[in-house]
A and B are shown apart, each in its own frame.
Chain A
Amino acid sequence: MRDIRLAARSGGSAALALSFFALVATLVPLGVGADLKLLARVAGGILWVAAVLAALLSLDRLFQGDFEDGSLDLIALSPLPLELTALAKIIAHWLSTGLPLTLLSPLLAVLFNLPPPATLILFVSLLIGTPAVSAVGAIGASLTLSLKRGGLILPLIILPLLAPAVIFGAGAVSLALDGLAAQNALGLLAAFSFAAVLLSPFAAAASVRLNLGG
């Protein structure tokens, strides 16, 4: 689990993701104009998509740094199973991007004139949904490990897989906006997120092994 510190201290990428998220969320209201009803309506979707894209920015380095400087060889030979290493990296990525993005989201929701109940749902949906982004991203990052410009293919691999998270997450916010109960959508999102975090370390570890042999 010391991998968390290892990833956390490479800093920079978290700030980049955060400012990207904030900038996109600020630009959209400027572009769409001052139609407050419309803004509130699209807020969930825009903020969710912006959060996923922001998290993508730092994903391609998840394993690549360790792969290029040879650390991954050493980690693979250590008694710690690669599955746990992958899980640690997913947690570290979430702590350095997903969590800060979630914490920032209520502030940005103000720009979209999102009412407080819907903002709360947005916050909760990001809180339970962003771990899935890190987890599915880890699979993509490990698959593109030995490609020189893997960062370009990465979004193509993982964005389709993340569609459910965006649908349920943004859907929950829409439901809350209409005054309906959002629990069902949040429940599905939590299930998706849970499955992703549980299964992706195995997929990521397997593809890291393949890449070490290549």
Chain B
Amino acid sequence: MISSLTAEKLACVRGDKRLFDGLSFRVTAGQALAVEGANGAGKTSLLRMIAGFLTPAAGRLIVKSAEGESDDGEERGKIIGWLGHLDGLKPQLTVIEQLNFFAHLCGKAVDGALLEQVGLARQADLPCRYLSAGQRRRLALARLLASQRPLWLLDEPFAALDRSGQALVAQLMARHCGQGGIIIAATHDPLGLGNESLKL
């Protein structure tokens, strides 16, 4: 379990454009942080930076856990549950194969109730190419849950979902925070978690 994530004076440069500069924040266990900003403000870049894909042009990201402090991007990747704006689904694989593959990759067993939880139990044996955008999103959510990671990075978690799907996301996020997890979400909608927000 991790106790906090701290950003110190982060800067992000894409091409020759400076997206943000001197960005500092701190999120502790059980908290959520909404990242807001206009299109192209650098929300996704910030998430990719936290995930360790992008190296900050300046500043540091520090994860505090029981084992101590670390600012290593590669190490940070191992605690991250990622829900990007791409779903990462293979059209040829069935829903259950997709989930099993990823859970295996993470060395976790698949909980049979997961698909039911996201409302895809009836589609388990359907190849992913037949899923609608919302259903694909639900499957990506199930995969996020299967990874059992403490730090969730969500890019537009409400996108493409119907009303019950959005309620589901809100409920899952509340539960994750309740269990001492951390959520950082790039979003245009309120998260409804009594969370802080960061304007880019």
- Give the CA-CA distance A130 to B22 in the complex, in Å: 51
**Chain B nearest CB, measured from A214 CB (Å):** 9
Closest to B55 in A: A213
Main SS of chain B's interface residues?
loop
> Which of A50-95 touch B at CB < 8 Å?
65-66, 68-80
Total number of A residues with any Cβ neighbor in B under 8 Å: 22
**Chain A nearest CB, measured from B184 CB (Å):** 14
- B38 at the A/B interface (Cβ < 8 Å)? no
| Chain B 87-129 per-residue mask, 1 if CB under 8 angstroms from chain A, else 0 | 1111011000000011011110000000000000000000000
B93-A75 in contact (CB<8A): no
B101-A2 in contact (CB<8A): yes
Stretch at the interface among B26-34, B63-71, B76-84, B165-173: B76-84
| Chain B 16-60 per-residue mask, 1 if CB under 8 angstroms from chain A, else 0 | 000000000000000000000000000000001001011100000
**Chain B nearest CB, measured from A11 CB (Å):** 8
- List the interface of chain B (C-beta within 8 A of A): 48, 51, 53-55, 77-78, 80, 82, 84-90, 92-93, 101-102, 104-107, 143
User: Can you spell out 30 A-B residue pairs with CB atoms less than 8 angstroms apart?
Assistant: A2-B104, A5-B101, A6-B90, A10-B92, A65-B90, A66-B88, A68-B86, A69-B87, A69-B88, A70-B87, A71-B89, A71-B90, A73-B51, A73-B53, A73-B84, A73-B86, A74-B82, A74-B84, A75-B105, A76-B77, A77-B51, A77-B78, A77-B80, A77-B82, A78-B105, A78-B106, A79-B107, A212-B53, A213-B48, A213-B53
